[in-house]
Amino acid sequence: MEIKILGSGCAKCKKLEELAREAVHELGVQANVTHVTDMNAIMAYPILSTPALVINEQLKTSGRLPRKEEIVIWLKEATN
C-alpha cells in the first residue's frame, strides 16, 4: 500500500503523517508512507489546499486534518 501526505511540512501536515503512521501500525498492514513536499508533485493532484492524504493514488482528503478513525476506515477499504 502506498500512502502519501501532501504538504509543505507545516504542523498540520506533520500531524497527518503521524496519524497515518499510527493507523497503519494499528491495522498491522504493510504500507510505504511518504511525505511529498515538492509543490510540482503536489499540484499533480486535484487539491486546493493542504494537508492532503492519498492512498494508492486515490485522494482521500485535502484541506483538513481527518481523525485517525477515518484514516483506519480508508486503509481498510484500500486493503479489500
Active-site residue, 44 included: no
> Tell me, what's the pLDDT at 44?
94
Q: Which residues in the chain belong to E strands, given as ranges?
A: 2-6, 32-36, 52-55, 58-62
- The catalytic position among 10, 39, 41, 43 is 10
pLDDT of residue 11: 94
Q: What range defines the domain where residue 64 resides?
A: 2-79
pLDDT score recorded for residue 76: 95
Is the distance from CB of 41 to CB of 53 less than 8 angstroms? no
Question: What pTM does this model have?
Answer: 0.94
Q: Are 6 and 50 in contact (CB under 8 A)?
A: yes
Of the candidates 3, 5, 6, 13, the residue annotated as catalytic is 13
State how many domains the chain has. Answer: 1
| Distance from the Cα of residue 57 to its chain's centroid | 10
* 13 belongs to the catalytic site: yes
The burial class, CB within 10 Å (0-12 / 13-18 / 19+), for 17 is buried
Per-residue pLDDT of the chain in tens (80 residues, 90 and over written 9) = 999 999 998 999 999 999 999 999 999 999 999 999 999 999 999 999 999 999 999 999 999 999 999 999 999 999 87
Q: Which CATH number belongs to the domain containing residue 54 in this structure?
A: 3.40.30.10
